[in-house]
Structure 1
Amino acid sequence: MLERQPRKNRTEVTFILPADTPPGPVSVVGDFNDWQPGAHPLMPRRDGTRAVTLALPGGVEHSFRYLAAGDYWFNEESADGHDGVNSRLRT
């Protein structure tokens, strides 16, 4: 799931997944972090989910995916769209 909070010249995007699906560590990887695995890991939250919030430039479209343990790549179902193997996000 994605949550967005518009700010002055950026959008704060929170990437949210269930606590155990998939199991193990998960990070969000995309053009906003040069596709660097582990740069933005999702962390546990009190409500039983895990998440990470990034401040991204407004008015931009980004490609991203999630990377879980075992080199398991997967997409965000609630993304703005999909481009080949990547999820798309508009800020």
Structure 2
Amino acid sequence: MFTKKYLKTKNVCRVRFKLQKKVIGPAEKVNLVGDFNNWDENSGAMKKLKNGDFSAILDLELERSYQFRYLVDDTRWINDENADIYLPSPFQGEDNSVITI
């Protein structure tokens, strides 16, 4: 899931991405991968919280849409259950999550 916070002092939206342990089960690491980091599977490491959830905060440009997915333990791709929409992925034969700012 994610939450959007539009900043008055900057021309960006601060987005907090959160992936709950109850959705992914036990995991060692999660990477947030998408248009905002050129789909680099080795960047976008999310912080593991004490309760087993994962979290990351990004400032994203306004008036844009971004496709993304979560990569769990380098083996499993997961979509965001609260995505604004889903679009077909050209690489994986599945859908990507989309957030619109």
- Asked if these proteins are the same fold (TM beyond 0.5), I'd say yes
Please state how far the C-alpha of 1:16 moved relative to its aligned partner. Answer: 0.3
Which sections of structure 1, spanning at least 5 residues, go unmatched? none
**CA distance in structure 2 between the aligned counterparts of 1:74 and 1:44, rounded to whole angstroms:** 16
What letter is aligned with 1:80? Answer: D
User: For 1:11-60, what per-residue CA distance to the aligned partner results, in whole angstroms no more than 9, with x for missing partners?
Assistant: 111110124724221011001100001311111235x2320000010110
Identity of aligned residues (%): 29
Establish whether residue 29 from structure 1 lines up as the match of residue 39 from structure 2. no
Normalized against structure 2, the TM-score is what? 0.80
Between structure 1 and structure 2, the one with the greater Rg is 2
**CA distance in structure 2 between the aligned counterparts of 1:2 and 1:55, rounded to whole angstroms:** 12
Aligned residues: 90
Establish whether residue 14 from structure 1 lines up as the match of residue 16 from structure 2. yes
Alignment of 1:22-61 (within 5 A): 22=25, 23-45=27-49, 48=51, 49-61=53-65
**CA distance in structure 2 between the aligned counterparts of 1:52 and 1:29, rounded to whole angstroms:** 11
What letter is aligned with 1:18? Answer: Q
**CA distance in structure 2 between the aligned counterparts of 1:25 and 1:12, rounded to whole angstroms:** 22
Which sections of structure 2, spanning at least 5 residues, go unmatched? 89-94
Greater fraction of residues in strand: 1
Name the Cα RMSD after superposition: 1.5
**CA distance in structure 1 between the aligned counterparts of 2:21 and 2:13, rounded to whole angstroms:** 24
Structure 1 residue ranges (4+ consecutive) displaced by more than 2 angstroms after TM superposition: 19-22
Normalized against structure 1, the TM-score is what? 0.88
